Amino acid sequence: MAIDNKEVLLEVKNLEVTFNNSRKNKGFRAVKNANFHIYKGETFGLVGESGSGKTTIGRSIMRLNPISDGEIWFNGKRIDGKISNEDKREVIRNIQMIFQDPAASLNERATIDYCVSEGLYNFHLYESEEDREAKVDAALKSVGLLPEHKSRYPHEFSGGQRQRVGIARAMIMEPKFIIADEPISALDVSIRAQVLNLMNKFKEERGLTYMFIAHDLSVVRYFADRIAVIHNGRIVEVAPTDELFKYPLHPYTLSLLQAVPMPDPKIEKAKELVIYDDSIRDFSGEKPILREVSDDHFVFANDRELKEYQEKLNEMKKD
């Protein structure tokens, strides 16, 4: 899926997020020096294991977590740190989030009507009460729910239905950019496709841009245009999906790709697993940073490693 006009929608520069639990120690650096950009209209996948900082990056963009260093630019405007209330409203209107756990992300004591129209109330995005109801009805219909569900409470819905309420709640704000924080990992396998297709439908209809946070590579491969691999708070490789799956360079990416189970038991049994281990790697040379190896393919490397990766890439491309 090539994007012709590569207009950058979101840019993250040297992002660092630190969690302090006391004033004495330095705190835990959840995200270290993260750099990436997201083009308009693409789906950007963010992959990594649990605790690698995927969600933290998503929440920092959403301004839920304060950042300790770096910059976040959205649509040519800086959105991190202290910004005016108007800019804050602008961020909220343009960036929305789909949450991981549909059981936890809806207010159990509010009706679906309130859950979906919460954003409308906050920004007064409706002309009259009828207009608001019409908007809620349309939003519910667009995710395949019925207007009669408005008076129901979240606990009466199935997981897939709840997740679709969460999507309707985000979509009613008519955002440009959506951060989907593992939107399907809490769902039953049988309804994952339903939610993904729904997200794709919205992308085509409204020209949305997604940041898709996941740990399931097979889903990201199906869904994302470009993928960033994150390990221990560090982005180690960024590449278009096909390129990443064909020519994984960083050893961590390699291990991650190998971990995807194969549906063929013969291949699965013969597969030799390489477990990524920081301690056996050669870290000689200066400190590595994220560098471009080939066109739009970035790897976390220093000069020596970059040369190795380039050689490796050329070899792989020959085969």
State the residues that interact with other proteins by CB under 8 A.
59, 62, 64, 88-89, 92-93, 96-97, 99-101, 104-110, 114, 118-119, 122-123, 144-146, 149, 151-153, 155-157, 161, 166, 169, 173
Q: Where are the beta strands (DSSP E) in the chain?
A: 8-19, 28-39, 43-47, 69-74, 77-78, 95-98, 177-181, 209-214, 226-231, 234-240, 289-294, 297-301
Which residue pairs, CB below 8 angstroms and at least 24 apart, start in 279-288? 281/251
CB of 245 to other proteins, least distance (A): 31
Q: Which is nearer to other proteins, 179 or 228 (CB)?
A: 179
CB of 156 to other proteins, least distance (A): 6
Q: Which is nearer to other proteins, 152 or 203 (CB)?
A: 152
| 161 neighbors 169 (Cβ within 8 angstroms) | no
CB of 153 to other proteins, least distance (A): 6
CB of 145 to other proteins, least distance (A): 6
Quote the CA–CA distance of 201 and 142 in Å, as a whole number: 10
Q: Which is nearer to other proteins, 169 or 226 (CB)?
A: 169
Q: Which is nearer to other proteins, 140 or 256 (CB)?
A: 140
Q: Which is nearer to other proteins, 80 or 243 (CB)?
A: 80
Quote the CA–CA distance of 106 and 121 in Å, as a whole number: 16
At 218 the three-state DSSP class reads helix
* Amino acid in the structure at residue 244: L
Token pair listed for 124? 């007064």
CB of 88 to other proteins, least distance (A): 8
CB of 128 to other proteins, least distance (A): 21
Pairing of the two strands 43-47 and 226-231: parallel
Quote the CA–CA distance of 48 and 259 in Å, as a whole number: 12
The interaxial angle of helices 129-142 and 112-123, nearest 10 deg, is: 120
Q: Which is nearer to other proteins, 23 or 287 (CB)?
A: 23
